[in-house]
């Protein structure tokens, strides 16, 4: 598949994936309407019609999501091969150790790029749609919940910036060790020292991952409980119905999901950025420059 075809097909199926991401939001609303109909003791015909609407929404979600993600899987795999083909063919050194290190840097970059595209495909698209739609919906449903959710997103975002910067520094050290290890692996018989260094740097990456996600998840938990307490109070005083609580909590759950997904995307993009800079460190052995790599 040519590069131009890859690009065109990628955006076509990305659009289909975008449409598929709207259905979960619609399903939450339809489900709350089923609960509302039960509260109002609606007829079986009305209840059946609403349940049927939930069924159709879930079916369209499954069909469009699975079709678009599988098509994108193939296109992303082709893009990854194209990246490797372009960069490997541009290596202009005959020294084996230098070449092996450059090849590993290329592998790190192509793998990170493919992983970023994969995560953006799913769950990234869902996160973008939810990020735009849910706050607007909550603004019209309950302004106080909207303010709490907005505060939650701001606190989460700045916490995520800090944790991602720390992650990128640790990942850069790990990638450097990986390059040295594979270069030594292909030129020598003794590479235990390099293995030890890789293990140490990767352990630091994993340990920071525990700290990072604990900070983010506990931030989400604090705001979730605050919103739940507010909604329970409103229901108990008759200001809201159970269906309102189901609807709002459904969208708050969606908020946590899309923020977690955005964090994963940021970490993946950090991997790609680190891999790109590691690749540029080998620019003397490559017949390409930064503009070639980012075009």
Q: What is the pLDDT of residue 282?
A: 59
Q: What is the pLDDT of residue 94?
A: 65
Q: What is the pLDDT of residue 32?
A: 92
- Identify the burial level of 152 via C-beta atoms within 10 angstroms of its C-beta, where 0-12 means exposed, 13-18 middle and 19 or more buried: buried
Domain limits at 73?
3-294
Cross-strand partners of 286 = 91
Cross-strand partners of 91 = 286
- Assign 206 to helix, strand or coil: helix
The DSSP 8-state label assigned to residue 40 in this structure reads T
- Could you tell me the CATH number of the domain that includes residue 173? 1.20.1560.10
Give whole-number Cα distances, 16 to 64, 117, 237, 254, in Å: 7, 15, 44, 21
Q: What is the rounded CA–CA span in Å between residue 249 and residue 27?
A: 13
**Residues in the chain where the model's pLDDT stays below 50:** 287-290, 292-295
User: Tokens for 205?
Assistant: 């990456």
- Identify the burial level of 187 via C-beta atoms within 10 angstroms of its C-beta, where 0-12 means exposed, 13-18 middle and 19 or more buried: middle
Assess contact for 93 and 99: CB atoms under 8 A: yes
Q: What is the pLDDT of residue 2?
A: 56
Domain count, the chain: 1
- Assign 286 to helix, strand or coil: strand
- Assign 2 to helix, strand or coil: coil
Residue 91 phi, psi dihedral angles, 5° rounding: -65, 130
User: Tokens for 97?
Assistant: 């150790």
Q: What is the pLDDT of residue 294?
A: 45
- Identify the burial level of 18 via C-beta atoms within 10 angstroms of its C-beta, where 0-12 means exposed, 13-18 middle and 19 or more buried: middle
CB neighbours of residue 209 within 10 Å: 14
Assess contact for 108 and 198: CB atoms under 8 A: no
Q: Which of 253, 292, 277, 289 is nearest to 112 (CA)?
A: 277
- Assign 91 to helix, strand or coil: strand
Q: What is the rounded CA–CA span in Å between residue 26 and residue 58?
A: 9
Q: What is the pLDDT of residue 209?
A: 87
pLDDT tens readout for residues 45-77? 999 999 999 999 999 999 999 999 999 989 888
């Amino acid at each position: 598949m040519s590069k131009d075809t890859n690009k065109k097909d990628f955006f076509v199926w990305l659009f289909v994936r975008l449409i598929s991401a709207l259905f979960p939001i619609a399903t939450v609303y339809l489900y709350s309407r089923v609960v509302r109909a039960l509260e109002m003791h609606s007829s079986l015909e009305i209840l059946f019609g609403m349940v049927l609407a939930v069924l159709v929404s879930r079916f369209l979600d499954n069909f469009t999501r699975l079709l678009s993600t599988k098509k994108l899987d193939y296109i992303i795999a082709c893009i990854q091969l194209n990246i490797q083909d372009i960069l490997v063919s541009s290596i202009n050194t005959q020294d084996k150790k230098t070449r092996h290190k450059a090849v590993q840097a290329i592998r790190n970059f192509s793998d990170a790029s493919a992983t970023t595209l994969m995560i953006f495909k799913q769950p990234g698209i869902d996160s973008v749609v939810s990020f735009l739609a849910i706050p607007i919906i909550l603004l019209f449903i309950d302004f106080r919940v909207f303010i709490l959710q907005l505060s939650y997103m701001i606190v989460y975002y700045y916490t995520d910036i800090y944790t991602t910067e720390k992650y990128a520094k640790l990942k850069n050290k790990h990638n450097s060790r990986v390059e040295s290890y594979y270069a030594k692996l292909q030129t020598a018989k003794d590479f235990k020292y390099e293995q030890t260094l890789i293990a140490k740097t990767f352990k630091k990456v994993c340990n920071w991952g525990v700290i990072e996600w604990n900070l983010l998840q506990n931030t989400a938990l604090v705001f979730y409980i605050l919103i739940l307490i507010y909604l329970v109070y409103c229901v108990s005083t008759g200001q809201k119905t159970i269906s309102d609580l189901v609807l709002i909590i459904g969208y708050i759950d969606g908020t946590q999901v899309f923020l977690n997904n955005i964090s994963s995307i940021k970490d993946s993009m950090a991997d790609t950025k680190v891999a790109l800079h590691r690749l540029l460190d080998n620019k003397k052995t490559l017949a390409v420059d930064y503009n070639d790599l980012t075009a």
